[in-house]
Structure 1
Amino acid sequence: MNKQQAKGYLLEIVLSKLIEVNGYEVITESNIPYEPGVPHDEQEIESKHNGLNVRGRGGYHQFDTLGTFRITPPFVYPLRLFVEAKCYASTKVGIDRVRVGVGILNDINTNYSTVNLSTEQLSVKRYQYHYAIFSTSGFSNPAQRYAIAHKIHLIDLSSDVYKDIINLIHQIIDELMDNSDIDDTQFNSFKRTFSELIRDEVVYHRRSSYCWDEYLFNIDLKMLIMELKNNIENQFIYLATINSVYMIPLLANSEFNELLKTNPHQDVSIHFNPEKPKEWIIVPIINGSENPSLSIRFTLPKLLRQYIHQDAEKAMRVKEKIIDKIVFIAYLDNENPTLCTLTFNKATTLRNPWTFR
């Protein structure tokens, strides 16, 4: 187990917690779905020696984070999302990683047949699988173009918006693996405890194995993990769609979540941050005026950033045509889905002196 892989695993666990607000229920060892009428060796998801696996047409595929969306739109199968995280220091995620996602999706989404199934088996719930790759170092241009062609979602976490969370993950793995290597069995034990802490599973699952293994957890490591847990408390990542093939992650806090509870449809100004080229800022407009204390930030995909490239006219065109309506579904009260929209207000945006010009 190398540090790069280990950091990616921890990032997946943190992301699975942060995106729960979107309505994804993460599948774990304690809640593996069982389909009545389907033989044990034909269940879609199984626990094997290497962890949880989902059944495809040609084989099983191991996963660490797989979420089922709580609601299903008409005319589509229920949705499931693979979350893969890459925590590279500087190397951009290349086309090879996207190809892996394409292969997995093709195998799993073509797993269903009907000719030899019984009536009971035909009634078993079917799922439409999707794949998202999160990267702390961005993506190469070929990877982005290939992902668009094959409907793989790429989420760029390379801006300072996510810096505090990612830096803590780096520190945790550096502390864990500083003086000695760690084998897969030891790391899996560490990862299980880390997940239970971050996802609060120690509270909700009786089968939790949570304990501080003194061999793996020294005082500094414990403090770093609790600092990370405190850092992501009351934070959310809204996975939002725009008028484009891209999806953007909006990192918000509980105050913004409370604002959406009062009115899920907000007029907003959208500003480019000249001091941080990758960063854009959304500011709610309340009673005709901006409220910067409730602002949230996001990063545009690299291809869009390249299109704008310090061009004010193109930047405004992107705001008016592509991110004029930012849409997402959020479980603001943890129980009920709410359709939320953030609508771009050009006039208010232009009145602000720090607008990108």
Structure 2
Amino acid sequence: MATASQIRGAILEEAVLFLLEKVGYKIVRRPTDSIDSSDLKVNHSGLEVQGRGAWHQIDALAEQDQTPAFMFPLRLLVEAKCYPNSRVGIPIVRNSVGVHKDISENYFTKHRSTNAKSTIRFNYQSAIFSVSGYTKPAIDYAVAHQIFLIEYTGVPIIEPVIRAITNLEVESLTDLGVRDISGVRDKFKNILEHNHPNEYLSTHFTPQGVESIQQVSQRLENIGGSYFGMLQGRWPLHLLTQDELPAHAFRNDTVQCRLNGNREGNWTFTPIEYQQGELGWFELQFFLPIELAEKMSPQWGDQARVAQTKSENFSFIAMSGRIGGIWRNVKIELNQEWLSTYLRENRN
């Protein structure tokens, strides 16, 4: 029987996949979901991806074919960990590095046979999502091996989702609800896709479980916009909004913004051109990567130094996602005039 942390991790992974679909990724649950099924298969444990040396069971796989020229289509290996009281350590990252490396080299295996000429080569990336952060050795190892780490600590819009997931216990599942990981994933995915009534939920979950699952589903639906970006071309961010980003604010591919944040790691980009309540207003919420948090931490007593650190480390985000129903690659840029005013006011 699955442990509580495994069940929570499975639910969190499904929540992440739900948000990835909002971005515009295609979730691959079976070989026929992919644009090329030659390196995928399903066995009793679920979906497996062929590596150079072995087949690897992957709980969460997403595909994105909206890639720039001179790049192969993207496949994202997704792993989510829900440890409310402890950080993700280096063993989790080390395992991701090994799996990612072997799968990234499966092209050599796929093309050994002469009848495999039509198979597609993919650009594989691996991302780990956590509700409680990572240890420093895990961060250092991930950075060295290009494993992307996403943290949700302190992001207001997703905090209710995290609380609902962490409230879920093994005892919340009935025997009919299936207490194994794949069973839990399937049930929760069905709930997200079909908005089942309480009668369906009560056959799979206890009353306490029904309440928790409903809360996770409802809180997820409250996240209207989901986007991924790279801060300064280096730090990966999952940016979330209450409503989908307004197309009105993105008439151009570069949008000038102001940046606000606090020492708890809760940061937002908001547009210079619009005020809250206006048609083009938005608020992109994200968690500050730990490396940048360490740079900001000594500066909090001096607002001028805080502003200078913002200028050096937050000048732009290259961001992708659906805006106005269209896949867009845009640039969120820190407005220098706003920053200069901010600096001047705080120096005075």
TM over 0.5: yes
Q: How big is the shift at 1:125?
A: 0.8
Equivalent in the alignment of 2:322: 331
TM-score using structure 1 length: 0.83
Contact 1:325 1:344 in 2 (8 A): yes
Equivalent in the alignment of 1:299: 287
1:224 aligns with 2:215: no
Q: What secondary structure is seen at the aligned counterpart in 1 of 2:333?
A: strand
Equivalent in the alignment of 2:70: 75
Q: What secondary structure is seen at the aligned counterpart in 2 of 1:74?
A: coil
Q: How big is the shift at 1:57?
A: 1.4
Q: How far apart, CA to CA, are the structure 1 residues paired with 2:175 and 2:83? A: 19
Q: How far apart, CA to CA, are the structure 1 residues paired with 2:51 and 2:120? A: 15
Contact 1:269 1:290 in 2 (8 A): no
Q: What secondary structure is seen at the aligned counterpart in 1 of 2:264?
A: coil
Equivalent in the alignment of 1:251: 240
Q: How far apart, CA to CA, are the structure 1 residues paired with 2:79 and 2:346? A: 33
Q: How far apart, CA to CA, are the structure 2 residues paired with 1:195 and 1:9? A: 10
1:139-173 CA-partner distances (Å, limit 9, x unpaired) = 111111111111100111122433111001122x2
Q: How big is the shift at 1:180?
A: 8.5
Structure 1 residues 28, 219: closer, same or farther in 2, change over 3 A? same
1:166 aligns with 2:135: no
1:239 aligns with 2:233: no
Equivalent in the alignment of 1:269: 258
Q: How far apart, CA to CA, are the structure 2 residues paired with 1:74 and 1:256? A: 26
Q: What secondary structure is seen at the aligned counterpart in 2 of 1:241?
A: strand
Contact 1:279 1:297 in 2 (8 A): yes
Q: How big is the shift at 1:350?
A: 5.8
Q: For structure 1, which segment, 178-187 or 325-334, has the greater mean C-alpha deviation from structure 2 after superposition?
A: 178-187
Q: How big is the shift at 1:258?
A: 4.8
Q: How far apart, CA to CA, are the structure 1 residues paired with 2:107 and 2:287? A: 37
Q: What value does the CA root-mean-square deviation take over the aligned residues?
A: 3.2
1:96 aligns with 2:87: no
Q: How far apart, CA to CA, are the structure 1 residues paired with 2:227 and 2:35? A: 29
Q: 2:267 aligns with which of 258, 277, 280?
A: 280
Q: 2:184 aligns with which of 179, 186, 190?
A: 190
TM-score using structure 2 length: 0.85
Q: What secondary structure is seen at the aligned counterpart in 1 of 2:53?
A: coil
Q: How big is the shift at 1:262?
A: 5.2
Q: How big is the shift at 1:179?
A: 9.1
For 2:51, the aligned partner's letter is G
Q: How far apart, CA to CA, are the structure 2 residues paired with 1:298 and 1:35? A: 33
Equivalent in the alignment of 1:40: none
Structure 1 residues 24, 318: closer, same or farther in 2, change over 3 A? farther
Q: How far apart, CA to CA, are the structure 2 residues paired with 1:220 and 1:3? A: 14
Q: How far apart, CA to CA, are the structure 1 residues paired with 2:306 and 2:138? A: 24
For 2:234, the aligned partner's letter is V
Q: How far apart, CA to CA, are the structure 1 residues paired with 2:144 and 2:232? A: 17
Q: How far apart, CA to CA, are the structure 2 residues paired with 1:29 and 1:185? A: 22
Q: How far apart, CA to CA, are the structure 2 residues paired with 1:132 and 1:195? A: 20
Q: How far apart, CA to CA, are the structure 1 residues paired with 2:86 and 2:15? A: 21
Contact 1:241 1:247 in 2 (8 A): yes
Unaligned 5+ runs, structure 2: none
Contact 1:190 1:216 in 2 (8 A): no
Contact 1:32 1:46 in 2 (8 A): no
Q: 1:344 aligns with which of 334, 339, 347?
A: 334
Q: How far apart, CA to CA, are the structure 2 residues paired with 1:154 and 1:259? A: 31
Q: How far apart, CA to CA, are the structure 1 residues paired with 2:276 and 2:141? A: 39
1:251-274 CA-partner distances (Å, limit 9, x unpaired) = 11225345545555321110222x
Unaligned 5+ runs, structure 1: 37-42
Structure 1 residues 255, 126: closer, same or farther in 2, change over 3 A? closer
Q: How far apart, CA to CA, are the structure 2 residues paired with 1:26 and 1:254? A: 22
1:19-47 CA-partner distances (Å, limit 9, x unpaired) = 223321010138443748xxxxxx31111
Structure 1 residues 5, 190: closer, same or farther in 2, change over 3 A? closer
Structure 1 residues 116, 143: closer, same or farther in 2, change over 3 A? closer
